[in-house]
Amino acid sequence: MTAESTRTPTITHKQFYLEWPLYKRVEFSPGHESSVENTKIAIDGIERFKNPPADIDSYCVQCNKESSFKLFRTAQIIKAPQGLHPMRLSNPANSTKTDKELYEYFGISMECKLNSSHKMYALFLLDLTSILKIGQWPSSSDLKGGNEKKYQRLLGSKKYSELKSATRLFSGGVGIGSFVYLRRIFEGLVFDAYERVPIARDAIFRQQFEIARMDERIDMLREYLPEFLTANKKVYAILSKGIHELSDDECLRYFEVLYCGIEAILDEIIEKEERENKAKKAEYALGKIRGTLKNSSKPK
């Protein structure tokens, strides 16, 4: 086995089939912007297709919960002109090897192990210089939607629909636009905290807050914000850099990480609320038991 075939792939099966954006053409051509990174991802994706695992884990939109999916492959194979196979571009050391077969398109269907009528599909087009994902069902934003539902109450309808817009744009290959929505969610969390804290009624604090930068605002509200948010102020800086300076491709590449960061912040708020609610309920119930015991205890 060569070092090339044993290195860790840059993309997992799940990322390739279910999270990779649609219509984002990945060029293999040398000299193309970020072609080295793109070539690695595309080649790994094709390798992943050739060597499928028995199954992959994913949320099932019909079961409404996490499940495991069995994979079935299909592909149209055509002859590639010698010397132009993308696999050879990825590994110049193998350039004397003749690769004559090339996929024209390939697809994967996935069958839910909890119910075999629940299916998912992904379809890719491939030519000599590029690969393009042309179809997926359910969409990656539908798949995320199952997990996202738990944030609906916390975010309210306006912010919740913005979170869905972020994932919808990402699954359609719109990187910078998806960052705009993620940043609005982040800002919303900071402003919500600001509106809730008693110190915000202080005129001097308000004045300072209004002219402060976002990282300074986070410091000012440190004790009222989720720990993950205050420890990861850079999420905001990266989202802003994405909107102003990064390319669509770069934003798409970083989307999942930043989305996870937002999820971690939202999860922390929900967990805290659940803990507090449980404690309140337990306190109330304990008070009732104490009252009952007091009333029923007989004087000695």
* Residue numbers at the binding site for Zn ion (CB under 5 A): 60, 62-63, 67, 112, 114-115, 118
Alpha carbon of 150 to those of 143, 146, 156: distances in Å? 13, 8, 11
The Cα 2–Cα 221 span in angstroms is 53
- The Cβ of residue 9 has, within 10 Å, a number of other Cβ atoms equal to 17
**183: nearest Cα among 262, 254, 126:** 262
Place of tokens 């007091």: 294
- How large is the angle between the packed helices 152-171 and 248-296, nearest 10 degrees? 160
- The Cβ of residue 238 has, within 10 Å, a number of other Cβ atoms equal to 19
User: How many angstroms from the chain centroid is the CA of residue 97?
Assistant: 38
| Cis peptide upstream of residue 21 (ω within 30 degrees of 0) | no
